[in-house]
A and B are shown apart, each in its own frame.
Chain A
Amino acid sequence: GAGVSQTPSNKVTEKGKYVELRCDPISGHTALYWYRQSLGQGPEFLIYFQGTGAADDSGLPNDRFFAVRPEGSVSTLKIQRTERGDSAVYLCASSEWPGQGYEQYFGPGTRLTVT
C-alpha cells in the first residue's frame, strides 16, 4: 500500500518568505508527527497530532512555525518569515495509534533551503 508522502520534495525560498510543507499519512493512521533534521544530525521532534488536534507542539522552535491537520488526515506545516536557520529536511511520520508500541512510518522528507 501507499506509504507516507510529502510534497514538495525540495523547496527553495528566499529569506522572509512564507512556505507550506504538506504531509499525506498512511490512510487510517490516527497519529501524525513532524520532525526536523538538520545536516549531520538526527531528527528532532516538532509537533504531534492525534486526530485533528495538536496534542504536543513543544518542539516548535518559535511562533513562526505552525501546523494544522483539519480533517485528521493530511497535515500542513507552515513557516512564516523564513530564516536561513530554518534550512533543513522536514520529516513527517504517521502511526496507526499513538504510543511506544506502534511503529512510526516516515515519509521521504521535504528539503527546505532558505537563501
Chain B
Amino acid sequence: GDSVTQMEGPVTLSEEACLTINCTYTATGYPSLFWYVQYPGEGLQLLLKATKADDKGSNKGFEATYRKETTSFHLEKGSVQVSDSAVYFCALSDRAGGTSYGKLTFGQGTILTVHP
C-alpha cells in the first residue's frame, strides 16, 4: 500500500537559517504529492503541491520538487522566520488504475520551532 515517511523531528532552528524536511514515499500508482502545514491552534492547510515528476511546488518561500527516481519530495526554505513554527506533513494522493478520488496518505509530521 501507499506510505509516506518523514524525517524524525522535532526540528529547532534560529531565524534566517535554512530548512530541509525530508520526505520519501511509496505508491502503487501515479501519486500527486503535497505538503500540509498546521499552525498552532489552527487546522491543516495546504502549503504546496506537485502533480507529476520533476514538478516544483512553491508557496510562502517554501519549495519542494517531485523526484520520481528517488521517490522523494523534500521541503526546503532558504531563510525561516519565527512565524514558520508549525507542524509540517508530507502527503500523497494516489491514482491507481487511472482513477483517483483524492484520498490522502500522510506522513507522521515534523514539528518545526524557529527561535528569534
Q: Which residues of A contact B (CB under 8 A)?
A: 3-4, 31, 33, 35, 40-45, 48, 50, 55-56, 91, 93, 95, 98-104, 106-109
Contact = CB atoms under 8 A, between A and B. Distances in A.
B22 to A, nearest CB: 15
Contact of B103 (A3, A48, A108): A48
- A interface secondary structure, majority: loop
A45 B42 CA distance: 20
Interface residues of B, number: 25
Contact of A101 (B42, B51, B89, B109): B51
A42 B109 contact: yes
A100 B108 contact: no
Given A100-B102, A108-B42, A42 B108 contact: yes
A51 B100 CA distance: 16
A104 B104 contact: yes
B100 A43 contact: no
B17 interface: no
17 contacts: A4-B43, A40-B108, A41-B108, A41-B109, A42-B4, A42-B89, A91-B44, A93-B44, A95-B102, A99-B101, A100-B32, A100-B51, A100-B100, A103-B46, A106-B43, A106-B44, A109-B43
